[in-house]
Structure 1
Amino acid sequence: MLLLDTSTLPARDRVEAFREVLTNGSTRNHRVIHEVPPEGLHGRMEGVQVGGLTVFTSQNTGFRLVRTPRHVRRESSPLVAVAVQPLGRGRFELEGEQQLVGPTDLMLNDLNRPHDFSWTGTAASKTVFFTHDQLGLPADTVRAATFRLRASPLHDLVHRHLTALFADADRLALDPGAPALAHATLELVRALLVSAADDRAVGRPVLADTLLTRVLAYAREHLADPDLDARRLAHVHHVSVRHLYQVCERAGVSLEQWIITQRLEGARAALASPANAHLTIAAVARRWGFTQPTHFSRRFREAFGTTPREWRQRRS
């Protein structure tokens, strides 16, 4: 949902409109300081609910957000924000520590603490918000993780997951799977925070609780790898194959069938895309982890009631 587009407003009204959206939205109770370039302030803000999670996007000219102890005291239900910076470089400061945030970084901001965030020139930020109750983590764990996200081996996995979520948030918000996606996002962020904080007392149960979510997220990113199987997934996540199967069984997930289904769905979409018209069916199959064309064709027909060739011809 579009919250603000300053291009539709007279220049004299833009600062007030910008501040109104920020101070009445998810970043309320901040002091907003604008950098107004010669061409004038401009900004575009959007917000959407994806399965109960608030996703907020802003692209605008330089500004600074300051949250003081007084602002914190005014807040009735402070949130935890996890953000990516797809354009420009942000500067985040909290309790004397600083972080520069670029396109490959995740930023964690507990709004229950005074902080200072800014950027210069036109830049963009995309953020998902969680309540402390949703995260279910001690405040000290969140605090310890704030400037240590890159130390976690889960950082890049969660970064890719959130980047994909942000890129298609409007469509995903309408999908029947949105609540499950929101739950998976929450679980991945919880796992990242306890990993980054190196909080072993909290980490063991949280990492155990989020194992299947992390395994399926990893598998989804490596569907093109022919050697993706239970043994590799167990090794990457430091558990035994037997334990992994037990976790899957409790959740009602057949791991091998889940991988096959995801690969087939990806290949079906790829075959229907004009962008792949120059590729042979075998080449598309290989891109989705199928090394044997005959095996791919058989599984495709079993799943969709048609051959890959027939499907492609009908969609062309």
Structure 2
Amino acid sequence: MTARSTRRTAARSRIAAVGAIAVAGTMLLTACGDQTKNNDSSGPDKAGTSAGASAETSSPADLLPAKIKAKGVIKVGSDIAYPPVEFKDKSGETVGIDPDLADALGKELGVEFQFENGTFDTLITGLRSKRYDLAMSAMTDTKDRQEGIDPETKKKVGEGVDFVDYFTAGVSIYTKKGDDQGIKTWADLCGKKIALQRNTVSHDLAKAESKKCTGGKKIAIEAYDNDLEAQTRLRSGGADAGSSDFPVAAYAVKTSGGGKDFQLVGEQVEAAPYGIAVAKGNDQLTQAIKAAMDAIIKSGEYDKVIAKWGVEAGAITEAKVNGGS
């Protein structure tokens, strides 16, 4: 996934038409490991480090770890149910912003990016277990995730990950069309029910806002494995509102029921970078991905993908490592 803090936080974006979400595009804020220890030991993207220096003087393909070069494949963990960021089309093919960017990165690196479907809140675990080399799933780069901190308890629960940032998105609220029930801000959700994806920024925001509610009117939160399930709940009348990353919410508003099911309410909040996650210690792979991302930005391939999906307002001009806060 929606910003998927995982934004999509401690954890969640997850088409055919170029203008699928262009109707709301101008609202988007512009800023809503299978490796071993023989990788470069220098820290990722730090000024003066050997990794940073090599990223400037070598081609992206030269920076890849030897094991990945030999396999010719980068395994990508992704929650493939988050249109238009990643989803299955009618033929069952994985499509979207992330797969298209991955294809461009693969050409730059001389390897194939293979997407493997998984629930969003298990992707980081998949990196640690080396099931995946990367996680690319509209995942928001946050300090908590970098450091392996649970955003709610603030306790360390893992070693964290490094991110290569590649897009910027905020979080939006949407309701059934013609029935916003006076909801314009997160505070307006007190006493109401919201459906959303588990372990996302939307989830974190709802929990935080509920604690502020007075008079016993807390927010009733229904959290689902993926955003499409949350949309179904709202569509059926089982919730008062839904929330997800702006590109995903805008796409749902544009396409669900031919544009008759949902409407956006209020302004998007919490604009932050999406990042490609890499397990800690895999600095060589991190630098290769960063260099490849910078290369496709410079060549114009990045802009082509962003324009194809109508999300130009979230584009970046330079890849950063661990740029989230």
Query: TM class by shorter-chain length?
Result: under 0.3
> 1 or 2, which has the higher helix percentage?
1
Q: Relative contact order (alpha carbons < 8 A, sep ≥ 6): 1 or 2 greater?
A: 2
Normalising to structure 1: TM-score of the pair? 0.23
Normalising to structure 2: TM-score of the pair? 0.23
Larger radius of gyration: 1
